[in-house]
A and B are shown apart, each in its own frame.
Chain A
Amino acid sequence: ELKVEQNPLFLSMQEGKNYTIYCDYSTTSDRLYWYRQDPGKSLESLFVLLSNGAVKQEGRLMASLDTKARLSTLHITAAVHDLSATYFCAVYGTSYGKLTFGQGTILTVHP
């Protein structure tokens, strides 16, 4: 069974600070997704990472993928309040053929 673990699960940050969310997964994968979810809302796609060493950036968020280490990171630069949300990574296991989500990281950015 494919396992996807995120850490930290809770992250409280001050505005202007940097931090990284980690996503570990247990088996071979050829694609990894990052999603954002605001309270009471559905999931919004942020990034798709398809190959080893892939890096994608959008605004203050940057995602990367290391398929050999089975690890993805979501780096937040100079956080602002609008980034407060829950962030999920989701991994498509090539053996299992389905998308498995991590537990989510609840990010709160304080002034």
Chain B
Amino acid sequence: EAGVAQSPRYKIIEKRQSVAFWCNPISGHATLYWYQQILGQGPKLLIQFQNNGVVDDSQLPKDRFSAERLKGVDSTLKIQPAKLEDSAVYLCASRRTGGKANVLTFGAGSRLTVL
């Protein structure tokens, strides 16, 4: 099966600019996640979708980050305005619902550098 697709792979912006990342999960995976991975740290969950509904966005900085998953398939994560501390890799993952053994499959990530 095709993996989780993400774009762009790399993005460099200046602080206060905006950026958007796109994710296409594995076909049939109802659950989609956005994680932020800062260099040297483990991934931190930003938001979790079940189909097109938000399950958990408790760690999403809502004053600057937004995410949507229209039609329960693709998702976009937007940052506006960006801050220096937003420099990180943004990982999208998807998971088939039902069954504890179902693992999260991660995309290659989108690396953001904020100058």
Known A42-B91, A42-B108, A43-B91: A97·B45 in contact at CB below 8 Å:
no
Give the total number of A-B pairs whose CB atoms are below 8 A apart: 50
Q: Please name all residues of chain B whose beta carbon is closer than 8 Å to the beta carbon of A42 when the two chains form the complex.
A: 91, 106-109
B45 touches A48 (CB 8 A): no
Of the residues B45, B91, B100, B105, contact of A45 by C-beta under 8 Å? B105
B98 part of interface (Cβ distance < 8 Å): no
A43 touches B100 (CB 8 A): no
The distance from the CB of A58 to the nearest CB of chain B, in whole angstroms, is 14
Instruction: List 10 A–B pairs whose Cβ atoms lie within 8 Å, in order of A's numbering.
Output: A30-B100, A31-B101, A33-B103, A48-B101, A48-B103, A50-B100, A97-B55, A98-B45, A98-B56, A99-B33
B residues contacting A by CB (< 8 A) are 33, 35, 40-45, 48, 55-56, 91, 93, 100-101, 103-109
